[in-house]
């Protein structure tokens, strides 16, 4: 039933987008924003409900006392919210695209969809998946900690966390480059810092001191391949230590 609703919503959104679009041909680049936004919105809301039963005492007791290991329970949730969701989402999006394009083709009496994927588009898609897995892991961890309004609470906690990292980084940069920062917050954590020779020089003449490439590559690797499993592991241990 949920799948039918999802396909219906996707078709409706697609048709509105297609009919309000001036171009004749629907290109993958046109579909990508719809695809990406819905992937994040639907996927993260779905992951946000992962451990909501632990916020309700009777449901929590039922869940925790079900004779299965914590790992089995966690793995089931993880597979449903990642593999299961992606599978259902792609079936829904593919079906919606097929039906939507069919309706438009019939109304215009010509073939309207272009199916070729450029290399840039493939790279963009891979980036989207990396970001999605990181976001999914953050929301899943949040769901293991906050059982009510978990998505809102997780996003707020994430905002505070990023703010703290930014402030700590700014404090260190101000100590290290005292008097040479373009302004007090002219630095990006793990990435670089904007400097001027002395405080009288205009800001637009600043130079941006970047972290070495190997540091950035390492950070990028950690972001893509280490962070999601690490967050999943944290969520698993949280589930293991859960009391009612």
Partner 1 sequence: MFEGLNLELEAGHVYGLLGKNGAGKSSLLMQIAGLLFPVSGTCKVMGYESKYRQPSFLSNLFLVPEEFYLPQVSIDRYVNTYAPFYPNFDEKAFHQYLHEFQVPRNQKLTEMSYGQKKKVIISFGLATNTKCLIMDEPTNGLDIPSKSQFRKVIAAAVNEEKCIVISTHQVRDLDNLIDNIVVIDNHKIIFKQDVETVTEKLSFRSVKQLDETENVVFAESSVLGHAVITENAGGTPGRLDMELLFNAVLEPSGRINQLF
Taken in order 200, 202, 203, 206, is the CA torsion positive or negative?
A: negative
Cβ 226 to partner 1, closest distance in Å? Answer: 28
Q: Where are the alpha helices (DSSP H) in the chain?
A: 2-19, 28-48, 57-64, 70-79, 85-108, 119-145, 150-176, 213-221, 227-240
Cβ 150 to partner 1, closest distance in Å? Answer: 19
Read off the tokens for 8.
């219906």
Nearer to partner 1, 59 or 108 (CB): 59
**Strand order through the sheet with 187-188:** 187-188, 192-195, 207-210
Cβ 68 to partner 1, closest distance in Å? Answer: 6
Nearer to partner 1, 61 or 152 (CB): 61
- Cα-Cα-Cα-Cα torsion 47, 53, 55, 57, nearest 10 degrees, comes to -170
Nearer to partner 1, 70 or 147 (CB): 70
Q: Which residues bind partner 1 (CB under 8 A)?
A: 56-59, 61-62, 64-70, 72, 243-244
List residues bridging with 188 in a β-sheet: 192
Cβ 149 to partner 1, closest distance in Å? Answer: 21
Nearer to partner 1, 109 or 241 (CB): 241
Q: Are 129 and 90 in contact (CB under 8 A)?
A: no
Nearer to partner 1, 21 or 76 (CB): 76
Cβ 58 to partner 1, closest distance in Å? Answer: 4
Nearer to partner 1, 65 or 213 (CB): 65
| Residues, the chain | 244
Within 10 angstroms of residue 199's Cβ, the number of other Cβ atoms is 10
Cβ 87 to partner 1, closest distance in Å? Answer: 23
């Amino acid at each position: 039933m949920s799948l039918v609703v999802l396909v219906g919503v996707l078709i409706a959104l697609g048709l509105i987008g297609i009919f309000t679009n001036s171009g004749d041909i629907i290109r993958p680049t046109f579909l990508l924003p719809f695809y990406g936004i819905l992937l994040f919105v639907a996927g993260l809301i779905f992951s946000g409900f992962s451990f909501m039963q632990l916020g309700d005492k009777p449901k929590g007791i039922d869940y925790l006392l079900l004779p299965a290991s914590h790992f089995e329970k966690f793995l089931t949730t993880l597979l449903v919210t990642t593999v299961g969701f992606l599978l259902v989402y792609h079936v829904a999006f593919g079906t919606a695209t097929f039906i939507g394009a069919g309706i438009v083709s019939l109304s215009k009496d010509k073939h309207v969809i272009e199916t070729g994927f450029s290399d840039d588009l493939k790279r963009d898609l891979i980036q989207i998946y990396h970001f999605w897995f990181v976001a999914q892991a953050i929301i899943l961890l949040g769901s293991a900690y906050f059982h009510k309004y978990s998505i809102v609470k997780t996003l707020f906690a994430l905002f505070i966390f990023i703010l703290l990292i930014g402030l700590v980084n700014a404090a260190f940069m101000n100590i290290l480059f005292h008097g040479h920062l373009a302004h007090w917050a002219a630095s990006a954590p793990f990435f670089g810092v904007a400097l001027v020779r002395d405080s009288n020089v205009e800001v637009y003449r600043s130079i941006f001191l970047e972290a070495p490439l190997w540091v950035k590559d390492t950070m990028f690797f950690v972001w893509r391949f280490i962070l999601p499993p690490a967050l999943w592991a944290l969520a698993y241990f949280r589930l293991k230590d859960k009391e009612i």
